[in-house]
Amino acid sequence: MHRTHTCGELRKEHAGEEVTLSGWVHVIREHGSKQFVDLRDRYGVTQVVLEEKADIRRETVVKVTGKVVEKPKANEKLATGEIEVQASSCKILGPADPIPMEPEAENTEETRLKYRYLDLRRPDMQAKLQFRDDCASSVRKHMHAHGFTEVETPILMKSTPEGARDYIVPSRLHKGKFYALPQSPQIYKQILMVAGMDKYFQIVKCFRDEDLRADRQPEFTQVDVEMSFVEQDDVIALGDELLKNVVKDVLGKDVKTPFPRLSYAEAMDKYGIDKPDARFELFLHTLTELVKDSEFKVFSEAPCVRCLVAPALSRKQIDKYTELAKTYKAKGLAYLQVTKDGVDSPIKKFLSDEVVDKIVKETGAKPDSTILFVADKEKVANDALAHIRNALGKQFELYDPEELNFLWVLDFPLFEWNEDTKDWTPMHHMFTMPHEEHLQYLESDPGKVLAQAHDIVLNGTEIGGGSIRVHHKDVQERVMKAMNISEEDAKKKFGFMLEAFQYGAPPHGGFALGFDRMVALFQGETDIREYIAFPKNKAAQSLMDDAPSDVEQEQLDELHLTVKK
Ligand code: ASP
């Protein structure tokens, strides 16, 4: 037998018992002829006294048998601190070389990922994986309680672009043909609705070959949901219910539902972004008209002038925010200092007193504040100010870090204009249903069409999204046409789906939650790699097993592939 108890289990009630513990040597202290060992496993640490020295070092795996003895003075730092085990035997189960990294030290990301098994020995990493599992079981519990069935969908599928780049897998049996890894199970879940499954969900891996960030990995997990015979309100209500229950289960917190709903237009107007952090009010203002006739050309000639009122900022802080604005393509940041003695600014000389008064009035700026302006294309002004707003929120602690602020953003445009490809591209994906009353503009004015789409936002991060879907072949074809997908291409890529719609497709809709992101945010973290057992680094490599790596020539031959020199 390897153990009678775990290393976190023994208390003074066990004194006198003969026990066996197995675990890792966490710390060794030498005391004369004795060794004091802190023995660690996932459940805790127990102090073990070895009368005879053993040939062990940090991280050796040992099995000790001995008697539990109550300590005269408890070690309050340990849950097992009331006792120690006086070992009569110590057997080495897994010898250890000197470890290449100290798990508890500040290690570089590279080291942590290379020796992930050492990194994961840290109790806080194990707690994070446990928390992730708690979230997953809670999701499953609530989805099952609502009558949803978890259905697995294929990992090897047809390459059907959904917005990002596909990972593709060459076929051995079919020369020159490829599978793709799913960017999401979108098409399958819709076909499951055509198949009559009614309520589907899946906690599922998705793959996107995109540039990585702290909250993006090439493979990530979604809570994917689809339901039939629903309208948007039903889908959103299910999302509210699910998130509320999961938060209660895993954090013990009550969040109020229904979550607020905001239209895309409203979000852009108030916050300049479609994933607003609504934990604090500090709204953007539009001054384009107001400054149109001013002598300040930067303002009068700009297509859009927007601003926000920040707490009073120093010159140095303004410089910092100017740099931030520039990363979002703004040419600069104009400002007005509002003090109790009036308004001051290098641009004041270009603005009449009347205009300055109007700006202060329009923005409601009070003394001891700084008005920050971006004059540019609307998109640039919004991007820059929205990110400045988020940074201000953080710097001035404008919100309670414990708050979980969920909200839905609705009524997205169906398409956005892509300057590079000169095409209309879907803001979500091409299976999103337009508002019925906007179907008429699909051909004449695609930019005007709003979609029955919904994004769910938590504390300024988009944690999921979905929509009511197109379920008519002809509407789907019209959407594809608006995107400039030829009939032939549509048939080749999506023919099977269009065909499925011909044999009785129910109205349906759903959403997917970015599970890694959601789990991390629940614990106030943004780096999803902390919640993934074996993540890739920023260059999409797995440093532990060295993937991606070369393969044998034979393998390439079998797959009918040649690597370009
Ligand atoms: N498949 C979509 C995504 O991955 C979510 C959805 O529309 O349900 O973003």
Question: How much is the pLDDT for 216?
Answer: 87
Q: Report which DSSP code applies to 307.
A: E
Q: Report which DSSP code applies to 464.
A: E
Cα 454 to middle of ligand 1, angstroms: 10
Q: pTM, whole model, 2 decimals?
A: 0.94
Average pLDDT over residues 123-142: 98
- What is the phi/psi pair of residue 147, to 5°? 85, 20
The answer to whether 510 and 227 have CB atoms below 8 angstroms apart is yes
Question: How much is the pLDDT for 483?
Answer: 93
Cα–Cα distance measured from residue 215 to residue 211, given in angstroms and rounded to the nearest whole number: 11
Task: Tell me the three state secondary structure of residue 283.
Answer: coil
Cα–Cα distance measured from residue 223 to residue 221, given in angstroms and rounded to the nearest whole number: 7
Cα 455 to middle of ligand 1, angstroms: 10
pLDDT tens digits for 396-416? 999 999 999 999 999 999 999
Cα–Cα distance measured from residue 333 to residue 357, given in angstroms and rounded to the nearest whole number: 20
| CATH architecture observed for domain 126-261+406-531 | 2-Layer Sandwich (3.30)
Average pLDDT over residues 269-276: 98
Atom number of ligand 1 nearest to Cα 469 = 7
pLDDT tens digits for 428-456? 999 999 999 999 999 999 999 999 999 99
Helical axes 315-327 vs 378-395, angle rounded to 10°: 130
* pLDDT level of residue 211 (50, 70, 90 thresholds): confident
Task: Tell me the three state secondary structure of residue 383.
Answer: helix
pLDDT tens digits for 21-74? 999 999 999 999 899 999 999 999 999 999 989 999 999 999 999 999 999 999
Cα–Cα distance measured from residue 402 to residue 195, given in angstroms and rounded to the nearest whole number: 43
Atom number of ligand 1 nearest to Cα 511 = 8
Domain with CATH 3.30.1360.30 in the chain: 280-395
Q: For the structural domain made of 12-94, what CATH number should be given?
A: 2.40.50.140
| 161 has a pLDDT exceeding 80 | no
Shortest-distance Cα residue to atom 8 of ligand 1: 511
Cα–Cα distance measured from residue 203 to residue 192, given in angstroms and rounded to the nearest whole number: 16
Task: Tell me the three state secondary structure of residue 314.
Answer: coil
Task: Tell me the three state secondary structure of residue 146.
Answer: coil
Cα 509 to middle of ligand 1, angstroms: 10
Q: Which of 428, 431, 471, 515 for mutating ligand 1's site (highest number of atoms within 8 Å of CB)?
A: 428
* pLDDT level of residue 160 (50, 70, 90 thresholds): confident
Cα–Cα distance measured from residue 11 to residue 70, given in angstroms and rounded to the nearest whole number: 8
Q: Report which DSSP code applies to 12.
A: G
Residue 285: exposure state from Cβ atoms within 10 A (0-12, 13-18, ≥19): buried
Q: Does domain 280-395 have CATH number 3.50.50.60?
A: no
Domain with CATH 2.40.50.140 in the chain: 12-94
